[in-house]
Amino acid sequence: MERGDASSTNADWMSQLPEELWATPLWDLAIPGSHDSMSYCLDTHSPVLGSESFMLQFLDRLAPCIVRPCVYRWATTQAWCIPDQLDAGIRFFDLRIAHKNIKNTQDLLKTHNTDDTLYFAHAIYTLQTVKEALSTMAVWLEQHQKEVVILSCSHFYLLTDSEHQALVCYITKLFKDKLCPPQETPYLSQCWALGQQVIISYDDETILHQHKELWPKIPYWYADSADPKEVISYLEEQKAQGRAAHFFTSGLNLTEDTAVVVCNPCLTMRKLTMKSFSLLLDWVEKQTPGPNQTAVNIICGDFVGLNHFASVVIGLNKKLLKTESHR
């Protein structure tokens, strides 16, 4: 994990938006997000998850000392911790939550709590627990009370119903009145007036129907390609079909396949992403937020702190001022 720039100018970007945008629904603003937000702290000693391919699980059992470092290189999509991502301007977090069996002394020492079995995961588990990450966000939000975050909880792995219920209970107790319910159209001035700072999207229909404070799954446009040109082409195809009525995400993240990994033994997801950033950011700069059918909303990227990604996305909101002036 790397440290971000403490002097970031985007820590309070929402509160610094022009007053004309304070009554704009949040799904009509351009919001920077991070894909697989917690992958900066993956555990190289972690076994490959059972949700991965049978072949990868087999190879992990056969030669973990070779497989796990390789998985780590390709599954790591972020370099900065949550507070640094927040300071950089990230407001959408892709949180993939998994149950982890605490079997050995080393794991027990890490958690300090035998009941704390929820971690994040991207092919392998993270070092940080869900509670640790969420509590860190709560502390940051207390220091930035006009910033609003969207937490997308998804890709649940092996969670029992009781763990789902306990997780939602923890979230509601942690954020309390800061939660923005889905019964309202969220815009900044309203959130500020009510002290609301957190939108929780929860990708489990059963739990969703039981808790009115949770938002439904947020659509994520995902190209599933290692080629940035194919990613852009896919996003343009999705735009042509029209945006979602509420929140939706355009994913700039690249995806490796077996051929890419095998044919490029010295390549990593970080190197692949950094080579593509110029092309991807050029596409971002051409986008426009707002209510139009071809508009963008949340834009997610990998290694969001290693370039000007967040600033470029935030800057798109200036285009709304021109739109407003012509209405």
Catalytic residues: 35, 122
Q: Quick check: helix, strand or coil at residue 156?
A: strand
> Residue 123: exposed, middle, or buried by beta-carbon count in 10 A (0-12, 13-18, 19+)?
buried
Residue 251: CA count within 13 A, CB half-sphere: 19
**Phi, psi (degrees; rounded to nearest 5) at 39:** -75, 0
Pairing of strands 220-221, 124-129: unpaired
Distance of CA 53 to the CA centre of its chain: 23
Cβ–Cβ < 8 Å for 127, 104: no
Stated as kind and residue range, the H or E segment containing 174 is helix 161-175
Give the span between the Cα atoms of 68 and 72, in whole angstroms.
Answer: 6
The tokens for 59 are 């190879």
The 3-state secondary structure of 56-97 reads: HHHHHHHCHHHHHHHHHHHHCCCCECHHHHHHHCCCEEEEEE
Residues 6+ apart with CB under 8 A from 51: 157
Residues 6+ apart with CB under 8 A from 122: 36, 38, 39, 42, 75, 76, 77, 96
* Identity of the amino acid at 262: V
Q: Distance between CA atoms of 125 and 96, rounded to whole angstroms? A: 10
3-class SS of residue 327: coil
